[in-house]
Amino acid sequence: MLDIHNLSISFQRYTRGFVRETLSPVSDVSLSVHAGEIVALIGASGAGKSLLAHAMLGLLPKNATLKGDFRFKGEDLSPARIRELRGREIALIPQSVSHLNPLIRVGKQVYRSARLSGRCHCTASASCDNAFSRYQLAETIKAQFPFQISGGMARRVLTATATAGKADLIIADEPTTGLDPEVTEQSLTHLQELAAQQKGVLLITHDLENAARIADTLVVLYDGRTVEITPTSSLSEGTASLHPYTRALWQALPQNGFIRFPHAVEKDDVRKCGCAFACRCPEATSSCRDRMPPLKQIGEKMMRCTHVTG
Amino acid sequence: MQTFPADNFWMNRSVRLFLTLLLVAILAFTLVSLSPVDPVNAYLGMDRMQIGPEQEQLIIDRWGLDRPPVERFFIWGGNVLQSDLGQSMIFNEPVTTVIAKRFLTSLHLMALAWLLSGVLGFVLGVLAGMRQNSFVDRSVRLYSYLMASTPSFWMGMVLLAIFSVSLGWTPICGAYPPGLTSADSTMWQRLHHLLLPAATLSIIGIAQIALHTREKMIDAMNSDYAIFALAQGDSRIGVAIHHALRNICLPAITLQFASLGELFGGSVLAEQVFSYPGLGKATVEAGIRGDVPLLLGITLFSAMFVFSGNMIADLLYSKLDPRISNRREAL
Amino acid sequence: MNVQSLPITESVQFSLIPALSNRRRAWLACLLCGGFFLALVVTAGILGTSGLDIDFLHRKLAPSLAYPFGTDWLGRDMLVRTVHGLCRSLSIGLLAAGCSSVISVGIGIMAATMGRRVDSILSLLIDIVMATPHLVLLILVSFACGGGARGVVIAVAVSHWPRLARILRAEILQLRTSEFISISRRLGKTPGWIALHHMLPHLIPQFMIGLILMFPHAILHAAGLTFLGFGLTPHNPSIGILLSESMRHLSTGYWWLAILPGLSLVCTVKLFDILGNNLRTLLDPRTTQD
């Protein structure tokens, strides 16, 4: 459904004098989402995940340039086309209740979301009611304001806004951050239900543990580049075939050994042209530091590392 | 289940109003007593020559004019509580009558200016904030920053020179045509005389309100919920109408009512330029000619006016903002 | 979705001199404005009393090359009168703003550092002064001082301090509870040292900025007060008095007597505003590195 190849997002800005500086927080991202698949986009803060989500919804500021292949259902997406599709075929489940208007009742906001997705007046009403009952939200919740509902209810309401429409691709932004285990469980179950309805789900998170539980594919982002695309099943087969970064993340989890994440060996402020992870990678060689490895297909995976083969 | 402690609100506010007025009265009385003007002269003025010594002694006894200031304050305060603010030396009428009459005249001017600056300021602010750095935004900002450096009385003079003197469209001074009284002049005539003073007050008021509204609008359009609404497929104008407007209405209302103080000050200047016989002009005359009772009375009245404005703003806010009015119902 | 993590602002800044950074532009603006004010004062000094002689042959002349601002009803050159008036207005405004800021610093510091009782009394005082409509207060104080230019200065000084005092008080209160101050205290530094090294760097920019932003207000309010007739001085009138005298002649068509001096006041205040804003850019620690 969604196909992204070599996507880069860069910003231009003026520094002293006439000098124009180009920042590229996202330089080479590839991922794809199929119907009924849950893809987890893993990355640390600052890796470019939110930027990617912005780009997919056409919310980048004016001085941003988007390059690369960006296809949805086989169609190339231009900014104008994204504006048409967002809310209708691509929907967002935002991170927190601050994304809801504090002065409008929750039911009305879900209804509006349904209307914006292209439904007419009556179907929108019905769909809003459906969404509320599907997520076990009582009728009385519709009249509440966002500040009146609890964290778990808020999560369900936010999911309802995305599913009140007919969207086929759901982007879930950090659905588990800062929530207690019960609510997290619920949130993840809802995403699984969406996938079961043959929708595509892109799960953006830094929570590898929860993502690994429900995702079919993992896309790992480091410093604005995709470093690995792997089916989640390969995690349980052993960490030897993983990208060093993914391996380090996985092993850092309490239940996997709680091994300390490698620190930067050299002070590396200047961006070198080699692999960005080289300064922390225990397997780094000089060839890693000289040349950026390309994203290669290795079996079922895509990998950007000179050390992992076959 | 009571959703808002209404009784407490009014009790609270009444007490605060009384305290405020009391303290303002103390401040005003202190200032007035510091004046080098002889208190007897201040109360009697030129009439002192005309009344006899017994009459003068009666007045001195009534108001304690030969007593020390603190005693004078209590005597004055006592009289005020009995609704007697004294006699205005300039107008030869009880102060309460003077204030009532002139306030009514001023009220037309202030109400018109308040409405104009509120509505137009809000509209301009919304249009400017909706698209930052657009032509509308830059024009509104230029206009507002210029007006911030412009004295309102000079603005009035410019308007007077253009519209009354050169073009002859509007009258030069007064609230109604010369020779007529308030009762004789028609509403249209009065409106005609109101135009320029109200325009003077509004031009500056619009600038201030537009600037504040624009800032709030920009905040709203860049907020999380506005971005999410765009992500849901809403257009920029849709976001402005369905989300931003609602969220800036409350701060706009507060601003409107808080601007009553500025409005009063502006009306003093505008009435001077156009010789409009309102409360502002009376204040100036009282200050220059040393009419102490009138000055004190106007101070109390204006403080009450500003206080009421703020109180109404708070009341509206508490009723209209669901986050406050629904506090008891929160789960 | 954290919008704040986006590194760049929505729109590219538009400027007439893109080659200069914000900081350099601010310096340039300050220099130009400062130059203007210097020129004003020097001109007033050079002109002296020339052009102020009563000359009935040249009464009420419209603006021309010989008399750029025209002449008034006594034949005096309006340009000279305006320049002197501006200097006078500026000095009144600056003096008033200066006094006002000193008062606000004193009261702000006292309110924030001398305990709760003093704080409540002073806060109450601030509230009361702000509860009275500004112009009414100005008139009252002016009346209390018996009028004259001194009365105007005192009136403006006494009515402008509450706002800045409130800001300084809030700033100091916030600082006192901030972490780096309490750590300093625990490390054993004396209150004097803390005040000098931690609080002053925060407070001085706030104070300077407040002071600078107060000038245009003070000048305009002083002009308004003198216009109403409260600061009458027999000689060397300020712009307010100039305008009030000229107003009488508006209805007979001698517009230049009131409009042009007022226009110069607007330009002067605007330049002061620009100066103030650029000084703020330079002094505010948040923008000074741009």
Closest CA relative to residue B244, chosen from A285, A102, C279? A102
Write the secondary structure of C180-195 as one string of H (helix), E (strand) and C (coil): HHHHHHHCCCCHHHHH
Nearest CB partner across the interface for C1, out of A25, A64, A173: A173
pLDDT score recorded for residue C199: 78
What are the E-state strand segments in A215-306?
217-222, 225-231, 296-298, 301-303
Closest CA relative to residue B239, chosen from C268, C4, A99, C192? A99
- Chain B residues whose CB is inside 8 A of the A92 CB are 228, 231-232
Question: What's this model's pTM, rounded to 2 decimal places?
Answer: 0.82
Going by their DSSP bridges, the two strands A90-93 and A169-173 should be labelled as: parallel
Closest CA relative to residue C81, chosen from C93, C69, C96? C69
Q: What's the pLDDT tens digit per position in B48-91?
A: 666 777 777 777 777 667 777 787 788 888 888 887 888 787 78
Instruction: For residue A18, name the pLDDT band (cuts at 50, 70, 90).
Output: low
Q: Is A246:A277 a contact under the CB 8 Å cutoff?
A: no
Contact B234 A116 (CB under 8 A): yes
From residue B54, give the alpha-carbon distance in Å to each of B41, B57, B65, B86, B90: 16, 5, 14, 18, 22
In chain B, the percentage of residues whose pLDDT exceeds 90 is: 21
pLDDT exceeds cutoff 80 at A35: yes
pLDDT score recorded for residue C263: 92
From residue B92, give the alpha-carbon distance in Å to each of A102, B52, B300, C24, C107: 57, 17, 20, 63, 42
Per the model's pLDDT, the better-predicted residue between B2 and A249 turns out to be A249
Contact B153 C251 (CB under 8 A): no
pLDDT score recorded for residue C274: 85
Q: What are phi and psi of C271, to 5 degrees?
A: -65, -40
Q: Is A129:A49 a contact under the CB 8 Å cutoff?
A: no
pLDDT score recorded for residue B118: 93
Q: What's the pLDDT tens digit per position in A201-219?
A: 998 988 888 888 888 888 8
Q: Can you state the percent helix, strand and coil of chain A, rounding each to 5?
A: 35, 25, 40
Contact C258 B307 (CB under 8 A): no
pLDDT score recorded for residue C168: 86
In whole angstroms, what separates CA B313 from the centre of its chain?
A: 14
pLDDT exceeds cutoff 90 at A128: no
Nearest chain B Cα distance for residue A273, angstroms: 35
pLDDT score recorded for residue C10: 30
pLDDT score recorded for residue C113: 78
pLDDT exceeds cutoff 70 at C117: yes
Task: Bin A260: left if φ > 0, else alpha if -120 < ψ < 50, else beta.
Answer: beta
Considering only alpha carbons, which residue of chain A is nearest residue C7? A11
Closest CA relative to residue C155, chosen from C105, C206, C230? C230
Contact C139 B284 (CB under 8 A): yes
Q: Is A187:A24 a contact under the CB 8 Å cutoff?
A: no
Task: Using the CB atoms, write b or e for A143-156: b if 16+ within 10 Å.
Answer: ebbbebbeeebbbb
**Sign for the pseudo-dihedral over CA of A217, A222, A225, A227:** negative
Closest CA relative to residue B210, chosen from B147, B293, B298, B264? B147
Instruction: For residue C8, name the pLDDT band (cuts at 50, 70, 90).
Output: very low
For residue B27, with 0-12 CB atoms within 10 Å meaning exposed, 13-18 middle and 19 or more buried, which class applies?
buried
pLDDT score recorded for residue C4: 34
pLDDT score recorded for residue C17: 44
pLDDT exceeds cutoff 90 at B120: yes
- Average pLDDT along chain B: 83
Nearest CB partner across the interface for B20, out of C128, C133, C136: C128
Which two structure tokens, joined as six digits, stand for C204?
């001085």
In chain A, the percentage of residues whose pLDDT exceeds 90 is: 1
Contact C19 A13 (CB under 8 A): no
pLDDT exceeds cutoff 60 at A310: no
Considering only alpha carbons, which residue of chain C is nearest residue B167? C253
Q: What's the pLDDT tens digit per position in A230-278?
A: 888 887 777 777 777 888 888 888 877 777 777 766 555 555 667 777 7
Chain A interface test: which of B131, B232, B253, B331 (most A C-beta within 10 Å) = B232
Considering only alpha carbons, which residue of chain C is nearest residue A99? C1
ipTM value for the complex: 0.85
Rounded Cα–Cα distance for residues A220 and B71 (Å): 83
Q: What's the pLDDT tens digit per position in B91-117?
A: 888 888 889 989 988 998 999 999 999
Rounded Cα–Cα distance for residues A282 and A305 (Å): 13
Q: Can you state the percent helix, strand and coil of chain C, rounding each to 5?
A: 70, 0, 30
Q: What's the pLDDT tens digit per position in A41-84?
A: 888 876 678 788 888 888 887 778 888 888 888 888 888 888 88
Number of Cα atoms under 13 Å in the Cβ half of residue B257: 17
Cα torsion B305, B309, B311, B317 to 10°: value is: 170
B55: Cβ contacts below 8 Å, ≥ 6 apart: none
pLDDT score recorded for residue B331: 37
Rounded Cα–Cα distance for residues A101 and A147 (Å): 10
- Average pLDDT along chain C: 80
Nearest chain B Cα distance for residue C14, angstroms: 9
pLDDT exceeds cutoff 50 at C6: no
What count of other Cβ atoms lies within 10 Å of the Cβ of residue A139?
Answer: 10
What count of other Cβ atoms lies within 10 Å of the Cβ of residue C105?
Answer: 18
Classify A219 as helix, strand or coil: strand
Eight-state DSSP code of residue B4: S
Nearest CB partner across the interface for A87, out of B231, B322, B329: B231
Instruction: For residue B45, name the pLDDT band (cuts at 50, 70, 90).
Output: low
Closest CA relative to residue A234, chosen from A248, A218, A255, A252? A218
pLDDT exceeds cutoff 70 at B46: no
Rounded Cα–Cα distance for residues C6 and A178 (Å): 22
pLDDT score recorded for residue B175: 72
Q: What's the pLDDT tens digit per position in A157-181?
A: 998 888 888 888 999 988 887 778 8
Q: What are phi and psi of C119, to 5 degrees?
A: -60, -45
Q: Which of A134-148, B42-56, B178-192, C55-69 has the lowest mean pLDDT?
A: B42-56
Residues 109-128 of C with CB under 8 A from B: 124, 127-128
Rounded Cα–Cα distance for residues A32 and A302 (Å): 11
Helices (H), chain B: 6-34, 39-44, 53-63, 69-81, 95-130, 135-148, 152-159, 187-221, 224-231, 236-239, 245-258, 260-274, 279-289, 292-320, 322-325
Eight-state DSSP code of residue C76: -
Tell me whether B287 touches chain C (CB under 8 Å): yes
Q: Which of A289-303, B135-149, B271-285, C234-248 has the lowest mean pLDDT?
A: A289-303
Largest CA distance in chain B: 85
- Please measure the distance between the N-terminal and C-terminal CA atoms of chain C and give it in whole angstroms: 28
Instruction: For residue B5, name the pLDDT band (cuts at 50, 70, 90).
Output: low
Instruction: For residue C266, name the pLDDT band (cuts at 50, 70, 90).
Output: very high
pLDDT score recorded for residue C14: 39
Residues 223-252 of B with CB under 8 A from C: 224, 227-228, 231
